[in-house]
Amino acid sequence: MNIEYCRWPDEMAELYVAEGLWLGRPLSRIIEDRKNDYAMDLAIICGDRRFSYGDLDRLSSSLAGRLAARGMKVGDTALVQLPNVAEFYIVFFALLKIGVAPVNALFVHRRLELAAHARQIAPRLLIGTRANPLFSDDAFVDVLKEISPNLSLALFLGETNSSSSLDHWINTPFEGPSCYAPSAPDEVAFFNLSGGSTATPKLIPRTHNDYDYSVRISAEICQLTRKTRFLCALPAGHNYPMSSPGALGVFHVGGCVVMASSPEPLSCFDLIERHSVNMVALVPPAVSLWLHALPGREASLKSLELLQVGGANFAEAIARRIPEALGCRLQQVFGMAEGLVNYTRLDDPGERVFTTQGRPMSPYDEIKIIDEEGFPVAKGEVGMLATRGPYTSRGYYRSPQHNAHAFDDEGFYKTGDLVRITDDGNLRVVGRVKDQINRGGEKIAAEEVENLLLTHPDVAHAALIAIKDPSMGERSCAFVVTRNPGLKSSTLRRYLASLGTAEYKLPDRIAFIDAMPLTAVGKIDKKRLSEERGFAGNAASN
């Protein structure tokens, strides 16, 4: 059975097919197209290991064959949590080949997030690593099995028992018949994670057709070639290093992806030098770390041609330093896991690259900039960006209520981003109306953390807001009204961690106050909270 999702209206789907945007092929075609001509070419460098396109296809087919033999099939789902290693892509392509749709959890996700994903997709398959303390034994697997009675197989990297060793499942050639096929091209290939602004993080179903289009057009705009060597230093499962143009874009053209375990500058500089990397995608705080670590090491970056920066507001002053400091071109990327991606183009004049976040990548992207009532603002005015198009989702997974206000009547996704459009049609992100903190590219839904705080018996009211931060752009501050004057912020932080919350969501600051300021209708007045406390709040924070 196919996975349900909000489909595009027929006339739009027909247009996208007729115009050749939607190819009607599975996403796994990205490596299958390369397995002949490029069989010997390097696809992935991961530590001392090297994988050719032939290897990538063969190993993912082996895993696919075994999983299919265990009954995994089209319409099933998988919860995957792997670090930045080659196996991430081997697993991804194996699952695409058999039509099993994964959620690729971030490696920083803990019990709470993984359980929430499992509750939503009821996975049949779990793939992780024993290196993650959460999976050092099977206690948490049992919890997940309770959440998802469908869960019938768990495979781990670094597992000694061969029956549940991912390494074994991948590396032992599969001799049986290959009885499997991917899901149909207009069906769900996998789920993206949304940054979110709601209590439970939403999942975004992405189809083969729509995602493949976004990868192809991204690769074209970023002028990727067989010579591209891309450093994957952001979490591999995030939409940005996966598809903008990311690793999939690189595989699409037959280039090579070099895995880095994190954007930590010194190890990345080494990898760039050792493997002649010519392209990297970073978030703004990582750029600052790189600039700081650079003096004296410039020679390591000789091969670097393109630095992409996106995920959060990138200060113009730092943008201007890039070409000279790193000796490469800069590209700003303003994208979202829901779909729309904007790029500055490689031949754009410097001023545009330094001062804007680019323009939509596809001529079929439709955007409007709207006021609070949903009406278009006057040209050049600030408003909220809304969008629809051939690769922008039409709805979150199983979230009809949330979709009713996250999308408008015409199917436009309301991004929650405040933008201004320049005379030449480029976007400047100037703020945000969604209740979210952008902690250097990592998104925190305020409501999620507030709800967790409220489960503590001493917390009467809680509000999470953004505070400006020179290195991360924003950090989080929780305002708490407590019933217990002796409550300490360290106790609360430990409490949140004990619930299994990812570390980046723990409030950077916790401030105890006597009462919450309220708006006229009695909601917590976050704007006043941030203004009166001298912090820059959401809308003003970019």
Give the footprint of ligand J2J on this chain (CB under 6 A). 195, 239-240, 243-244, 310-314, 332-337, 341, 357, 415, 417, 429, 432, 438, 443
**Is-contact 405 430, C-beta < 8 A?**
no
> Closest by alpha carbon to 99, among 138, 125, 117?
125
CB of residue 242 to ligand J2J, shortest distance in Å:
8
Nearer to ligand J2J, 148 or 239 (CB): 239
| Residue 330 DSSP SS3 | strand
CB of residue 61 to ligand J2J, shortest distance in Å:
28
Nearer to ligand J2J, 74 or 361 (CB): 361
CB of residue 30 to ligand J2J, shortest distance in Å:
16
The residue type of 408 is D
3-state helix, strand, coil in the chain (%, to 5): 35, 25, 40
CB of residue 438 to ligand J2J, shortest distance in Å:
6
CB of residue 3 to ligand J2J, shortest distance in Å:
20
Tokens 């789902």 sit on residue: 77
**Is-contact 366 389, C-beta < 8 A?**
yes
CB of residue 268 to ligand J2J, shortest distance in Å:
18
Nearer to ligand J2J, 77 or 387 (CB): 387
In angstroms, rounded to a whole number, what is the distance separating the alpha carbons of residues 245 and 266? 24
Exposure string for 227-260, b = 16+ CB within 10 A, e = fewer: ebbbbbbbbbbbbbbbbbbbbbbbbbbbbbbbbb
CB of residue 79 to ligand J2J, shortest distance in Å:
19
| Residue 482 DSSP SS3 | strand
In angstroms, rounded to a whole number, what is the distance separating the alpha carbons of residues 390 and 403? 18
Strand-strand pairing, 279-282 and 306-310: parallel
Nearer to ligand J2J, 78 or 337 (CB): 337
Nearer to ligand J2J, 61 or 308 (CB): 308
CB of residue 407 to ligand J2J, shortest distance in Å:
14
Nearer to ligand J2J, 52 or 415 (CB): 415
In angstroms, rounded to a whole number, what is the distance separating the alpha carbons of residues 4 and 519? 39
> Closest by alpha carbon to 462, among 511, 503, 500?
511
Nearer to ligand J2J, 415 or 482 (CB): 415
Nearer to ligand J2J, 157 or 312 (CB): 312
In terms of Cβ atoms closer than 10 Å to its own Cβ (0-12, 13-18, 19+), residue 316 is: exposed
CB of residue 348 to ligand J2J, shortest distance in Å:
14
Q: Is the peptide bond before 295 cis (omega within 30 degrees of 0)?
A: no
Nearer to ligand J2J, 335 or 500 (CB): 335
**Is-contact 343 331, C-beta < 8 A?**
yes
In angstroms, rounded to a whole number, what is the distance separating the alpha carbons of residues 166 and 169? 5
CB of residue 250 to ligand J2J, shortest distance in Å:
14
Exposure string for 267-301, b = 16+ CB within 10 A, e = fewer: ebbebbbeeebbbbbbbbbbbbbbeeeeeeeeebb
Nearer to ligand J2J, 223 or 491 (CB): 223
CB of residue 391 to ligand J2J, shortest distance in Å:
10
In angstroms, rounded to a whole number, what is the distance separating the alpha carbons of residues 35 and 57? 6
Nearer to ligand J2J, 285 or 311 (CB): 311
In angstroms, rounded to a whole number, what is the distance separating the alpha carbons of residues 537 and 522? 19
Nearer to ligand J2J, 392 or 415 (CB): 415
> Closest by alpha carbon to 251, among 226, 218, 234?
226
In angstroms, rounded to a whole number, what is the distance separating the alpha carbons of residues 542 and 530? 14
Give pairs for 142-150: CB < 8 Å, separation 24+: 143/111, 143/115, 144/79, 144/114, 144/115, 144/118, 147/115, 147/118, 147/119, 147/122, 148/118, 148/119, 148/121, 148/122, 148/123, 148/124, 149/122, 150/76, 150/122, 150/123, 150/124
Tokens 């398959």 sit on residue: 125
CB of residue 320 to ligand J2J, shortest distance in Å:
16
> Closest by alpha carbon to 221, among 88, 329, 103?
329
CB of residue 49 to ligand J2J, shortest distance in Å:
27
Nearer to ligand J2J, 140 or 240 (CB): 240
Query: What is the number of the residue whose Cβ is closest to ligand J2J?
Result: 335
